[in-house]
Structure 1
Amino acid sequence: MLSNKVLDWMNKTGFPLEMKTALSFRKQSFDVYQSYDYKDFESDKSREIDVLAIHIDQTSKGMIDVAYVMECKASKKPWVVLKGKTLSDSYHRLNSFCIASVAGREAFVDKLINGELEYIRDYTETSKYAGYDFRQAMGGDHDPAYGAAIGVIKACLGYIQDRTCNVSDRLCYCFPVIVVDSPLFECWLNETGELELQEVQRSCFKFSSYHSERVSTTVTVITKSELDAFSSEAERVADSIRNEFAARENELFDKLCKRT
């Protein structure tokens, strides 16, 4: 039957992984968009990211924006996150946590300087254990891992730019994520100088690139079996961000109302 042939073709594409990713976030408090278009401000062209999940809170005043930008990579080849020593305490917590708008960054830094981080402090610590590179194993000269990382970073920047173009004070926090449907490994050098490899369902790595200015953050990589656990945690992170900056949101909202 033709329908069976079409289904067989669909299963060989990346669409099922995108659909599963979107469905997992729809089960939580997220408004989900598939094949989301954003403006690449470097090329001034429209580009597409696989899944955008925007956290929804009916009590929000609209001044806090939390989103997850996801690129889905369907492949039979495994993926590897290269890891080294744990980063020192001097690493930048905000950059490692997510990509933020100017106002979001200022609100975060104010709390960090005053030692007032309460709700999201533990989440900012997890990126200390991030790797330093991400690769597709057993590939050729073309490495789709780098392209995926660049894609989610640009999409995060494009999303934040779009959300702050009319409301520059909005506190935006955007998380870049890569979802894979083949095995994911972490690789490191042990104390005897030998390589060790461990299969995982979730990992993350530091990534930096230049888009008019240097952008550095942590990109999370998850397997499809980790989707539900990750989307559930994503909702907890979003709720924590809203609680962390609730007072600041009220100030910004009152300020916006006075301007209008």
Structure 2
Amino acid sequence: MEISLDEKVKRWVEKEGYPLEFSTAHKFKKRRFSVEQSYFAKDENGKAREVDVLATANVPIGRSFLRIKHVVECKWSKDKPWVLFKDEKRFATSALAAQLISSSAGQAIAWAAAGNEEFKELGMFKGEGFSFSGRQAFSKGNDLFYQAVQGVVSNCLNITRFYDEYEFAPEDHMLAVITLPLIVIEGGLHEATYAPESDELQLNSINHARLRWKGNERRQLNTVIDVVTSDYLDTFLDTFLDTREKELEVLVSCFGEALQQLIKCFQEKTEKYLVVREGARGISGRPNLLRKLSKLSTPNKKLQTDASDDAPFS
């Protein structure tokens, strides 16, 4: 029996992932995020790159704002499951927080607040259980997995760089943007771990993985990416530990407090109001905005910190 043109179009639309994008956007909208589909962010060469779904939580703080953005890549892969490779490498919670892809103001507040004790209770900053790479099964070369991971990291970098292109005086207002990369796939997801006792790889079907990625040429640090199957996204948003919504409340509270401190520091040209929590950052030196603050500050109002640049893993 010949397939009708309408049915062919329907199958094409599904395979291109458009229903997945609509479904993903809807799931964020019903949780009160500000959502955009097919958002375009320009790269450093001015070329527009598409973001499938952008889900934003916006918090005004005076004339400044804190924005936490889920940058989402949606991929249809029913015919070729994804396999992620997991190891036992660990990271410090404070380093995971400090190394979020952020605007310059976002980097400053994430670095300052990174050692907050509350972060240790958040699933997004859990220091273990990472995959380090992956593949789309039955594919060769730079497959859909690689394209999706590189794409979502690049989009996070493009979005945060856009906010830094604004001319703004820190003592007047700041644009603190934090990105959380997420890949939603419609298809199978598997996790491969090495079993030394049998010298074999063990393969398990999963619905959520945390991938640490260091393969983007524009970024030297690790990026943590959540990879979630489409049928698990509701559960991920609702019951991931204490729910992603509650985790965002903690982020907003801690980062918002740091942003208020930073604003006051620039207004009074002092570092004394900025509280820097103890913990390894895995970053050499302070973010640029904090260096600028240090130059503005008078000698007797310099920042005292217990922050460490030690390596973020054990």
Q: What is the TM-score of this pair, normalised by structure 1?
A: 0.85
Which residue, 180, 189, 214 being the options, matches 2:185?
A: 180
Closer, same or farther: CA 15–94 of 1 in aligned 2, 3 Å? same
Closer, same or farther: CA 65–245 of 1 in aligned 2, 3 Å? same
Counterpart of 2:253? 243
- Greater fraction strand: 1
2:103 is the alignment partner of 1:93: no
Q: In structure 1, how many angstroms separate the alpha carbons of the residues matched to 2:10 and 2:161? A: 38
Question: SS of 2:131's equivalent?
Answer: coil
Closer, same or farther: CA 37–90 of 1 in aligned 2, 3 Å? closer
Contact 1:95 1:218 in 2 (8 A): no
Task: Write out aligned runs for 1:96-107 (5 A).
Answer: 98-107=100-109
Counterpart of 1:209? 215
Counterpart of 1:111? 113
Farther off after superposition, 180-189 or 202-211: 202-211
Counterpart of 2:29? 26
Farther off after superposition, 125-134 or 197-206: 125-134
Contact 2:113 2:254 in 1 (8 A): no
Contact 1:29 1:56 in 2 (8 A): no
Counterpart of 1:16? 19
Closer, same or farther: CA 60–23 of 1 in aligned 2, 3 Å? farther
User: How many matched pairs?
Assistant: 253
Following TM superposition, by how much is the alpha carbon of 1:227 offset from its aligned partner in structure 2, in angstroms? Answer: 1.1
Contact 1:64 1:171 in 2 (8 A): yes
Identity value in percent: 28
Counterpart of 1:73? 75
Following TM superposition, by how much is the alpha carbon of 1:109 offset from its aligned partner in structure 2, in angstroms? Answer: 2.5
Following TM superposition, by how much is the alpha carbon of 1:181 offset from its aligned partner in structure 2, in angstroms? Answer: 0.7
Unaligned runs of 5+ in 1: none
Following TM superposition, by how much is the alpha carbon of 1:170 offset from its aligned partner in structure 2, in angstroms? Answer: 2.6
Closer, same or farther: CA 148–180 of 1 in aligned 2, 3 Å? same
Query: Can you list the C-alpha shifts for 1:63-100, whole angstroms capped at 9, x where unaligned?
Result: 2110011111102210011011132549832366x312
Contact 2:42 2:48 in 1 (8 A): yes
Q: In structure 1, how many angstroms separate the alpha carbons of the residues matched to 2:223 and 2:178? A: 12
Contact 2:54 2:70 in 1 (8 A): yes
Closer, same or farther: CA 88–68 of 1 in aligned 2, 3 Å? closer
Q: In structure 1, how many angstroms separate the alpha carbons of the residues matched to 2:113 and 2:12? A: 51
RMSD between superposed Cα atoms in Å: 2.8
Contact 2:103 2:176 in 1 (8 A): yes
Closer, same or farther: CA 231–163 of 1 in aligned 2, 3 Å? farther
Following TM superposition, by how much is the alpha carbon of 1:254 offset from its aligned partner in structure 2, in angstroms? Answer: 5.8
Q: What is the TM-score of this pair, normalised by structure 2?
A: 0.71
Contact 1:63 1:252 in 2 (8 A): no
Q: In structure 2, how many angstroms separate the alpha carbons of the residues matched to 1:89 and 1:212? A: 23
Structure number with greater Rg is 2
Counterpart of 1:160? 160
Question: SS of 2:147's equivalent?
Answer: helix
Query: Can you list the C-alpha shifts for 1:88-128, whole angstroms capped at 9, x where unaligned?
Result: 549832366x312232222232234xx5x144332254252
Counterpart of 2:234? 228
2:135 is the alignment partner of 1:135: yes
Contact 2:84 2:192 in 1 (8 A): yes
Question: In structure 2, what residue type is equivalent to 1:135?
Answer: R
Following TM superposition, by how much is the alpha carbon of 1:183 offset from its aligned partner in structure 2, in angstroms? Answer: 0.8
Query: Can you list the C-alpha shifts for 1:165-203, whole angstroms capped at 9, x where unaligned?
Result: 325733221011111111101101113111101111100
Closer, same or farther: CA 37–20 of 1 in aligned 2, 3 Å? same
Contact 1:131 1:205 in 2 (8 A): yes
Counterpart of 1:191? 196
Q: In structure 1, how many angstroms separate the alpha carbons of the residues matched to 2:113 and 2:26? A: 35
Q: In structure 1, how many angstroms separate the alpha carbons of the residues matched to 2:208 and 2:217? A: 27
Q: In structure 2, how many angstroms separate the alpha carbons of the residues matched to 1:220 and 1:24? A: 16
Closer, same or farther: CA 56–235 of 1 in aligned 2, 3 Å? farther
